[in-house]
Amino acid sequence: MKKILIAGTNSGVGKTTISLGIMQALTKRKLKVQPFKVGPDYIDPSYHTFITGRYSRNLDSYMLEDEKIKYIVKEASKDADIAVVEGVMGLYDGYGIDLNDCTSSYTSKMLKAPVILVINAKAMAASAAAMVLGYKMLDPDVNIKGVITNNVKSESHYNTLKSAIEKYTGIEVLGYFPPNKNFSLESRHLGLIPSVEMDCLKQKFDNLADEIEKYIDVDRILELSETEEVESSFDLDRFIQEHKVENKSIAIAFDKAFNFYYRENIELLEKLGLEIKYFSP
């Protein structure tokens, strides 16, 4: 099974833009891309869904135990060509300072997913290698397979970064991305503006994918994403039999203002026998 987790050194490093660009590039290659997002995020997944045409799934370790998360990934990905997981915050950021508590790094280990680390390499040279080496050594069980350097203006700067990172860390550098305001996504409140409020998204993401293909080795990302399947012990059929209902319906508010839902919750209600009725407040 092909799957990859795209993580950042910290929030604001460009992880979401690069994740969206890679998803769009893979989709333009006629691949079925199943997107996921680590953590309790509702806005980023709306962009994932817009690009891939498949519901993005939240991998929320605060709300769900490991077996249910592995079940979600396996079920959602069973007819996909590749699963692309966008991390949350920095690679090792989660609940408190426990590296295995709601972090992208723990999710990657749980799913046996190789990690691509996005770094902000602006105004850096060999020091970028020290940064990457720190992320590699903090938890050697995290399989960091590649690095993407963001905010790199020239090929010569990139070549310096690539040489330093690969020499001192042994981790492959897969490309770079230059600063470009055309691909910035507007923010508001706790995150990005929801996709339903954005104009001209299709053209923006098509252009982003073209730039990603120009600067980042997408073919190599596909090669690195090959990994073993993860099994889950969660028995959904048994759960449904224990909680089955009949002749019941449930109303769910759904419109531009009300759309922060975990897709699995709605699907589970349907599987339990409830009729879903959407309405707009």
CA distance 150 to 140: 24
The pLDDT score that the predictor gives to residue 201 is 79
In a domain, 164, yes or no: yes
CA distance 66 to 110: 7
In a domain, 247, yes or no: yes
- Quick one: 220 and 244 in the same domain? no
- Quick one: 158 and 272 in the same domain? no
The pLDDT score that the predictor gives to residue 198 is 58
**Rounded to the nearest 10 degrees, what angle do helices 66-77 and 104-111 cross at?**
60
**Which CATH number fits the domain that encloses residue 102?**
3.40.50.300
CB–CB of 240/272 below 8 Å?
yes
Mean pLDDT for the stretch of residues 261-266: 90
Q: Counting every residue, how long is the chain?
A: 281
- Quick one: 118 and 254 in the same domain? no
- Taking alpha carbons only, the member of 136, 134, 98, 97 closest to residue 116 is 136
**Which residues are CB-neighbours of 61 under 8 A, at least 6 positions away?**
38, 39, 69, 94, 101, 102, 106, 107
The pLDDT score that the predictor gives to residue 157 is 97
- Quick one: 139 and 270 in the same domain? no
**Coil, strand or helix: which one is 190?**
coil
- Quick one: 133 and 246 in the same domain? no
In a domain, 231, yes or no: no
Could you tell me the CA-to-CA distances from 151 to 19, 158, 180, 217, 261 in Å, in that order? 15, 10, 8, 17, 33
* CA geometry: angle 187, 202, 221, nearest 5 deg: 85
Number of domains forming the structure of the chain: 2
Quick: pLDDT tens for 74-131. 999 999 999 999 999 999 999 999 999 999 999 999 999 999 999 999 999 999 999 9
- Quick one: 128 and 249 in the same domain? no
Could you tell me the CA-to-CA distances from 226 to 35, 156, 274 in Å, in that order? 16, 31, 38
The pLDDT score that the predictor gives to residue 180 is 77
- Taking alpha carbons only, the member of 138, 201, 132 closest to residue 168 is 132
- Quick one: 219 and 259 in the same domain? no
In a domain, 214, yes or no: yes
In a domain, 243, yes or no: yes
- Quick one: 65 and 142 in the same domain? yes
> Which pTM does this prediction carry?
0.91
**In which band, very low, low, confident or very high, does the pLDDT at 244 lie, cut at 50, 70 and 90?**
very high
Q: Cβ-count burial of 7 within 10 angstroms (0-12 exposed, 13-18 middle, 19+ buried)?
A: buried
**Domain extent at residue 168:** 3-224
CA distance 265 to 68: 12
CA distance 77 to 56: 11
- Quick one: 165 and 273 in the same domain? no
